[in-house]
């Protein structure tokens, strides 16, 4: 009939900024170097991410309908409704084990870290004669108390870092690289730095004195000292060397000091969700939940189905697909690794092409200017390798003769009809 099912996708592409290109290059270069290390030195990749699913999320292939059928009543699309927020992590197969068979050595969902909670609770009812400012303040207070609201409002530095500590304790006892996106709560400053940055001058003076530093509370000293110098003095007093220290890195340092295991964090470039295999896991889980949606589906049903899918992928031992003897995590990480390796090769080829010397262009001959006898002579002359000759045939040492060369006494070359040509170079 000439119609296609589903949404129409555009062909436009978004131009990446130079900063994003640099971040992509850094990630791909690090990933390539890690994969080329000896297996006993490689970091085992861990991918974590957050997502959500709303009440009326569905995946039905029912987009075709007959406009002439009066009995085919199309139901009005429901509002998205409340949401469940989800967070989890997956880990690749152990690179130190060839053909792993033990569950902990295979690619799997990190147990105990796949969590869901309700978000999007309704705002409190507005009181009579309540101003907009007071109502917004009360909504924010309720939001803070219930940790509910919009998707990103459910994730902050405090909540994320509590989950991140649990992740480190659940990882195997080997160095791992934890890949995450560039969300603000993933890069929040360490609490001590954040606290100092928010202090005003009187607070900085009191804090420095409390920590055993110099006392600048005297009026003569207080007027001369600046906030920047006060912060520097506090950093020195607290032995803070890394002013870019994030809360996540601080937790990693504490974990390494306690256990001796060094984990690191790598950030995937923005707008490159295809480098995060856990995005495919979310698509699998949410797709299966969405296909069970019908008109009678309640929000509680969505939560129960979501939990059932969590159990399904956690119990996966490679038996979910009869065609492949791999877990779903191994399949999606293998797919993403191929794409990442391809992007890394293209980057290396681009760098190699930029450093290779550019070959000189081939000589261009105007049409009809040179005949078959003069052409080899002109090409050799353009490269600087030709020598003048008298136009007679010269014999090789083995008795064979070379092609005739035209005389180079003048800048003119003779045409077959004996007329001089002015087109020769």
Q: How many helices (H) and strands (E) does the chain have?
A: 12, 8
- CA-nearest of 294, 207, 265 to 89 is 265
Q: Are residues 143 and 277 part of one domain?
A: yes
Give the up-direction half-sphere exposure of residue 228: CA atoms within 13 A in the CB hemisphere.
0
Q: Are residues 341 and 227 part of one domain?
A: no
Domain that holds residue 238: 189-245
Say what the pTM is. Answer: 0.69
- CA distance linking residue 305 with residue 289, whole number of Å: 6
Look up the CATH number of the domain holding residue 97: 3.30.420.10
Mean pLDDT check: name the lowest of 263-277, 347-361, 373-387: 373-387
Q: Are residues 105 and 224 part of one domain?
A: no
Q: Are residues 168 and 115 part of one domain?
A: yes
Boundary-marking domain end, from 201, 226, 245: 245
Q: Is 10 contained in some domain? A: no
Could you tell me the two tokens for 71?
């009995």
Boundary-marking domain end, from 323, 349, 375: 349
Q: Are residues 252 and 240 part of one domain?
A: no
Q: Is 359 contained in some domain? A: no
* pLDDT at residue 5 tops 60: no
- CA-nearest of 64, 67, 4, 24 to 350 is 24
Count of domains in the chain?
Answer: 2
pLDDT tens per residue across span 344-363: 999 999 888 776 555 555 55
Boundary-marking domain end, from 327, 349, 371: 349
Confidence grade of residue 42 (pLDDT, cut at 50, 70, 90): very high
Confidence grade of residue 194 (pLDDT, cut at 50, 70, 90): confident
Residue 262 near residue 175, CB atoms below 8 Å: yes
Q: Are residues 200 and 173 part of one domain?
A: no
Alpha-helical regions (H) of 101-156? 132-146
Phi, psi (deg, nearest 5) at residue 265: -120, 130
Which percentage of the chain shows pLDDT scores above 70? 68
Mean pLDDT of 374-380: 53
Q: Are residues 298 and 208 part of one domain?
A: no
Q: Are residues 150 and 164 part of one domain?
A: yes
Confidence grade of residue 386 (pLDDT, cut at 50, 70, 90): very low
């Amino acid at each position: 009939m000439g119609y296609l099912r589903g949404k129409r996708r555009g062909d436009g592409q978004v131009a990446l900024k130079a900063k994003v290109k640099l971040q992509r290059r850094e990630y791909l270069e690090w990933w390539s170097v890690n994969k080329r290390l000896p297996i006993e030195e490689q970091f085992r990749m861990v991918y974590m991410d957050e997502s959500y699913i709303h009440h009326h999320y569905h995946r039905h292939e029912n987009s075709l309908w007959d406009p002439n059928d009066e009995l085919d009543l199309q139901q009005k699309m429901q509002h998205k409704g409340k949401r469940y927020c989800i967070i989890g992590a997956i880990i690749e197969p152990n690179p130190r084990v060839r053909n792993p068979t033990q569950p902990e050595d295979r690619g799997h969902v990190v147990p105990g870290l796949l969590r869901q909670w309700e978000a999007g609770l309704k705002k409190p009812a507005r009181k009579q004669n309540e101003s907009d400012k007071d109502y917004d303040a009360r909504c924010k207070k309720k939001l803070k108390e219930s940790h509910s609201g919009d998707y990103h409002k459910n994730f902050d530095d405090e909540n994320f870092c509590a989950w991140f500590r649990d992740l480190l304790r659940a990882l195997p006892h080997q160095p791992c690289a934890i890949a995450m996106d560039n969300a603000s709560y993933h890069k929040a400053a360490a609490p001590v730095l954040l606290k100092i940055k928010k202090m005003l001058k009187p607070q900085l003076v009191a804090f420095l004195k409390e920590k055993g530093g110099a006392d600048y509370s005297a009026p003569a000293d207080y007027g001369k000292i600046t906030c920047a110098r006060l912060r520097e003095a506090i950093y020195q007093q607290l032995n803070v060397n890394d002013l870019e220290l994030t809360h996540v890195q601080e937790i990693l340092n504490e974990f390494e000091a306690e256990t001796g295991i060094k984990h690191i964090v790598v950030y995937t470039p923005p707008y490159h969700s295809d480098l995060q295999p856990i995005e495919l896991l979310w698509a699998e889980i949410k797709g299966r939940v969405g296909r069970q949606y019908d008109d009678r589906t309640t929000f509680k049903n969505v939560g129960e189905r979501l939990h059932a899918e969590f159990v399904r992928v956690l119990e996966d031992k490679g038996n979910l697909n009869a065609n492949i003897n791999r877990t779903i995590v191994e399949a999606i990480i293998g797919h993403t690794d191929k794409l990442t390796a391809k992007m890394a090769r293209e980057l290396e080829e681009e760098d190699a092409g930029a450093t290779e010397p550019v070959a000189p262009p081939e000589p261009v001959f105007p049409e009809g200017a040179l005949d078959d006898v003069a052409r080899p002579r002109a090409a050799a002359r353009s490269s600087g390798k030709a020598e003048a000759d008298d136009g007679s045939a010269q014999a090789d040492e083995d008795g064979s003769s070379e092609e005739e060369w035209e005389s180079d006494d003048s800048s003119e070359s003779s045409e077959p009809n004996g007329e001089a040509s002015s087109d020769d170079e």
